[in-house]
Amino acid sequence: MSIFKARVKEFEDVLAGPQDSIDLNQLRKLAFNGVPDVQSFRALSWKLLLGYLGPRRSSWTTTLAQKRALYKQFIEELVLPPGHSSNGASVDGGDGDKVDSGGVGLQDHPLSEGPESAWNTFFNDNEFLLQIDKDVRRLCPDISFFQQPTDYPCEIVVHSKGEHGRRLHERVVPAVLSSANVERKGLGMTKINLITKRSVENYAAMEEGQEAHWEVVQRILFIYAKLNPGQGYVQGMNEIVGPIYYVMASDPDLSYRAHAEADCFFSFTALMSEIRDFFIKTLDDAEGGIKFMMARLSNMLKSKDLSIYELLRSQELHPQYYSFRWLTLLLSQEFPLPDVLRIWDSVFADEQRFDFLIKICCSMILIQREAILENDFASNVKLLQNYPPIDINVVIAHARSLA
């Protein structure tokens, strides 16, 4: 039996064996060495390692049904325009006012400026939707996947019947000018740059009845931001959700792939609960904050190779110039997507979660030792901000060798 077939058999025994309870310790050991890109191994392993699914297989059907129904509710309540239900039936317009799907109650007129107005919230959402729209339209540009139509579009969104606003990208006003004057209460006129001007690389939206994968990711991020108002949407979250969605939406098991959006949302939410401190500036210095993580990387580099550490320090090449992005985005910007998936197998399988991420980052620097010691400041910045192509298995093997 080949090594690959033997590894597939090991995953089959853990994930599809006769026992009801998955041995998570055994799964971690296997996944740490990379999940074979066959069957539903990676999608299922990530759901388990991130805690979306519990170890008892008999609980999965109920968990998935409940979570998927809850996500459909999120879409109906947070994505559909105010005063409209998913089936076009009458909805409550507030204070018991019934309205049909084509109208709104007096409490919720689109021109209402009251803070409790659903329409007021609807328009305010566009502030962060603008940034999400910009970011998801250029997700993973090295592959065409996110530009392609999904086989499982959200029916209540893509069949808008001419109603504007169900599809989130329609709410973002395309920029004609490069800037505009916007009045903000109490601040007078403020000049802002309109960042919705489409560049040629930006992905296009699909026709009525269809939607591209990037549109699905946009909806996931929008709902996450709505449900987490204290944090909202922060640029870079698109790079975290992208690989998770890719894995779920590429699941060979079509019964799972059909629910990729909901499953991705809850897996992403589980991961964000662990790394949310990376995205909150006030927590930079906290134990889970990004400055703390960068300091840990610097200390590891200092202990492993004092020469490189001293050189980077003398060049004033501070960790935030390169490792801020490495750590915040879990290396999703530094390597091609297949390599990112392989890295994340190990990172998600690590019980200490981000200890191994720091080791990978340290190895990336140590592997380039000769070049770094010869380079000046500018060359080293370029090297570390645009990491050269490399066999990812070499990096991971090096990281594993770091005691």
Burial classification of residue 55, based on how many CB atoms lie within 10 Å of its CB (0-12 exposed, 13-18 middle, 19 or more buried): middle
Report which of 386, 402, 376 is spatially closest to residue 311, judged by C-alpha positions: 376
- Helix (H) or strand (E) holding 173, with range, is none
- What separation, in Å, do the N-terminal and C-terminal C-alpha atoms of the chain show? 32
Span 135-173, pLDDT tens digits:
999 898 889 999 999 999 999 898 876 666 788 888 876
Q: What is the value of pTM for the model shown?
A: 0.85
CA dist 283 and 274 (Å) reads 13
pLDDT tens-digit map of 194-218: 233 233 356 777 888 899 999 999 9
Amino acid residing at 32: F
Per-residue model confidence as pLDDT tens digits over 296-346: 999 999 999 999 999 999 999 999 999 999 999 999 999 999 999 999 999
* Look-up of token digits 């033997």: 6
**pLDDT tier at 356 (50, 70, 90 boundaries)?**
very high
Predicted pLDDT at 106: 38
Separation CA 112–CA 196 (nearest Å): 26
Q: Which amino acid is at 48?
A: L
Domain coordinates of the chain in residue numbers?
A: 60-82+115-171+211-273, 281-402
Give the span between the Cα atoms of 247 and 241, in whole angstroms: 10
Q: Answer yes or no: is pLDDT of 22 > 70.
A: yes
Each residue's pLDDT tens digit, 242-285: 999 999 999 999 999 999 999 999 999 999 999 988 887 765 56
- Which homologous superfamily is 281-402 in? Ypt/Rab-GAP domain of gyp1p, domain 3 (1.10.472.80)
